[in-house]
Amino acid sequence: MAIFDYKAKDQDGSSINGVIEAPTENVAAELLEDRHYIILSLTQRKKATLFQGSIGFLNRVPMREVVIFSRQLAVMISTAVPIVQALRILVKQTQTVAFKIIISEIADEVDGGAKLSSALSRYPQVFSQFFIHMIRSGETTGKLDETLNYLADQMEKDYDLRSRIRGAMIYPVFILTALVGVGIVMMIFVIPQLTAVLEESGAELPWTTRALIKASDFFQTDWWVLILVLIGIIVAYRLVLRSESGRRQVDTIKLRLPVFGNLFQKIYLTRLARSIATLIAGGIPLTRTLEIVADIVGNTVYKELTIATIDVIEDGNSIATLFAQSKEVPAMLTQMMAVGEQTGKLDMILERLADFYSKEVESLIHNLVTLLEPMVMLLLGVAVAIMITAILLPMYQLSTAI
């Protein structure tokens, strides 16, 4: 399939710029004529690979683009701009080529009589079930602009949280990567030259020096074994994640990890609380809300808990029943859930809880980064100490003996 950029005029004489996917230029022209467009230009885009309904890794649409799309579409709809026209405008303003094509196809479908939510549902890699159900709710209530604005707000909060986590981890990851890189370079190029002098002297070498020599020899001759081991670990990890039992074990271990376990728990609880709050505020029934949230929470433990809660609610019990019995859910969350359910303000209370846990995540990340800094320095000190005892000290002893 090829991608074609086109310029055309519709039945009203309005100019249209868009993108269409077809096997050949003739087929693309026929598709446009079927829409009653007068083609002004039709040009094949070179080196574009995108198949409808699925996006490759290189064509992935960033979350930030979806947030901007929601915000801009909400503004235009609130100012009485027709949806199709608004989508056509967004095609021109969107930077990502893959997303530009998708919006153009969505505009064509809506122009053909499809609902916006139905058109969006054809692209699950870009628009989640959470997003689509909120749009469908907005269409039903006639408040699509408000729904889009609310979605943009919630997605911005989620995006900001992810950005803070990534930003906070840049420094320690960079330092550790640099240390590993410097260590490998020294093992391959520097250590052999230093240890050659010690071996030629015939003196008895301490165990640290002998161990360092063996490590250096390994990196020079058997480095491929290390690469194979790393590849094996990655492949094994992915295979484990593909099985339900393996995925559950990994997700359980994440929550039990020292230091990091608490951080993972707060991240999942933030996502859980905010998603439930957003869907309830959008008018989605509670049981359907939990079905959607189960798929987007990102952890098997909480997914199973959420799915099991659906049956509990259908039997007439409280939403907090199973959450209160789980060791992975703080008592505060279950208590606030129960209060929100009793007062009829579950969405408002969960939104505040999500904000609270979001701040907790920020605090934990700050403390973690603060803790990692001295640990990195300690690791660097240990590496320097090993170098001194294994190389410099024997060389000093050899020079004084001479």
In a domain, 241, yes or no: yes
Residue 401, pLDDT score:
62
Residues 244, 390, single domain; the answer is yes
Residue 185, pLDDT score:
84
In a domain, 93, yes or no: no
Structure tokens that stand for 62 in this block: 């960033």
Residue 203, pLDDT score:
67
In a domain, 148, yes or no: no
Scanning the structure block, which residue is given the tokens 């960079």?
174
In a domain, 263, yes or no: yes
Residue range 188-203: average pLDDT? 75
Residue 49, pLDDT score:
40
- Split at pLDDT 50, 70, 90, the class of 312 is very high
What range defines the domain where residue 27 resides? 1-48
In a domain, 87, yes or no: no
- How many percent of the chain have pLDDT more than 70? 93
- Split at pLDDT 50, 70, 90, the class of 234 is very high
Residue 295, pLDDT score:
82
Residue 327 has pLDDT above 70, yes or no: yes
Q: How far apart are CA 360 and CA 381, in angstroms?
A: 32
Residue range 212-233: average pLDDT? 87
- In sign, the C-alpha dihedral spanning 219, 221, 225, 227 is positive
Report the 3 state secondary structure along 179-211. HHHHHHHHHHHHHHHHHHHHHHHCCCCCHHHHH
Residues present in the chain in total: 402
Residue range 292-310: average pLDDT? 90
Residue range 71-97: average pLDDT? 89
Residue 314 has pLDDT above 80, yes or no: yes
Q: In what order do the strands lie in the sheet with 38-45?
A: 15-22, 2-9, 38-45
| Tens-place pLDDT, residues 19-47 | 676 777 877 787 778 777 888 888 886 64
- How many percent of the chain have pLDDT more than 90? 20
Residue 5 has pLDDT above 90, yes or no: no
| Tens-place pLDDT, residues 347-400 | 999 999 988 998 898 888 888 878 877 887 888 788 778 777 777 777 777 777
- The mean pLDDT of the chain is 83
Higher pLDDT, 115 or 206: 115
In a domain, 252, yes or no: yes
Residues 44, 188, single domain; the answer is no
CATH code, 310: 1.20.81.30
Q: Smallest Cα–Cα separation from 53: which of 109, 124, 151, 4?
A: 124
CATH code, 8: 3.10.20
Residue 159, pLDDT score:
83
Residue 26, pLDDT score:
79
Residue 305, pLDDT score:
93
| Tens-place pLDDT, residues 104-157 | 889 888 887 778 988 888 888 888 878 888 888 888 878 888 888 888 887 888
Residue 311, pLDDT score:
92
Higher pLDDT, 75 or 56: 75
Residues 212, 359, single domain; the answer is yes
Residues 184, 41, single domain; the answer is no
In a domain, 317, yes or no: yes
The count of domains in the chain is: 2
Residues 6+ apart with CB under 8 A from 2: 21, 22, 23, 24, 25, 28, 44, 45, 48
Scanning the structure block, which residue is given the tokens 């230029």?
25
In a domain, 204, yes or no: yes
Residue range 258-263: average pLDDT? 86
Residue range 179-189: average pLDDT? 82
Residue 209, pLDDT score:
80
Phi first, then psi: give them for residue 121, nearest 5 degrees: -65, -15
